[in-house]
Amino acid sequence: MAQKYYWKGYLKLSLVTCPVAMTPATSESEKVRFHTLNRETGNRVISQYVDAVTGKPVKDENEAKGYARGENDYVILTDDDLDAVALDTVKTIDIEKFVPTDSIEWIYLEKPHYLMPNDAVGNEAFAVIRDAMKADKVLGVSKLVIGRRERAVVLEPRDQGIVLWTLRFGDEVRPKENYFEDIDEEADPDLVPLVQQLIRKKSAKWSPDMVSDPIQEALLKLIAEKKKLLKPRKATKGKASSAPASNVVNIMDALRKSVNAEIKGRKAG
């Protein structure tokens, strides 16, 4: 089955470029979700934008983004305006720096995505970047536009692919000292061995079954019972999007040029 990707673009390190595709590493598509219905007719209830002053529905073509500069006073931006300020990071993950793998605290890691080559020609370049990061035990730091916002991201080599993590901004992270400072620094040494015994008794090999959702399971069972009384409806399928064009350079030449450029830049400095 052909994979559907959330994002397609290019992974770039100096002069080395390869086409890549990205998809979220986690999914909530299997979660039970409900629609709001009209109990009398059984039809779905739809939402609609309404003008706050006139009370009349607003047509799709008349909807626009607005930035408030005062009360009931907005600067209107069209889709063309927003597209005009698109950054290079819309389609390119340009690795700017590398940091040690253990230097980024877990709390800054937001959402994981799987990053993989999107063209057989780019496999070699992708593999070389991945394995070099593994060998040096580093993470790649870059930026990427997601949902019209430029996000800081880190690239972590894992198995045959790369995991791209979006990062939380500094002002989104609360200092742990504000919450942990009143907790005792050391526990009673006589009690610790007792808890260790409990830990050993309850220790087991990790399994995804440990985080199963009992509510989800109960809902699915209830829905299955309800389905027996109803006739199923056929679902429609969407069309897959086309892949972007390749933009790969000779990896050995690109690496040599990149390294030589770095050396010359340091000598000049």
> What is the signed CA dihedral for 101, 106, 109, 115, rounded to 10 degrees?
40
pLDDT of residue 21: 94
Q: What is the spatial order of strands in the sheet that 97-100 belongs to?
A: 92-94, 7-13, 16-24, 109-117, 161-167, 149-158, 138-146, 97-100
- Look at residues 177, 181, 156 and name the one whose alpha carbon lies nearest to residue 166: 156
pLDDT of residue 246: 45
- What does the pLDDT profile of the chain (269 residues) look like in tens digits? 456 788 999 999 988 999 999 999 988 777 778 888 888 888 898 888 999 889 899 988 888 888 887 777 888 877 777 666 656 668 899 999 999 999 999 999 999 999 999 988 889 999 999 999 999 999 999 999 887 788 899 999 999 999 999 999 888 999 988 899 888 888 888 888 888 998 998 999 988 887 777 777 777 777 777 777 776 556 555 554 444 444 455 777 777 777 777 777 767 76
pLDDT of residue 1: 45
pTM over 0.75: no
CATH no. for 1-27+85-169+247-269: 2.40.290.10
CB contact set of 8 (below 8 Å; sequence gap of 6+): 19, 20, 21, 22, 118, 241, 243, 244
Domain ranges of the chain: 1-27+85-169+247-269
Cβ–Cβ < 8 Å for 102, 108:
no
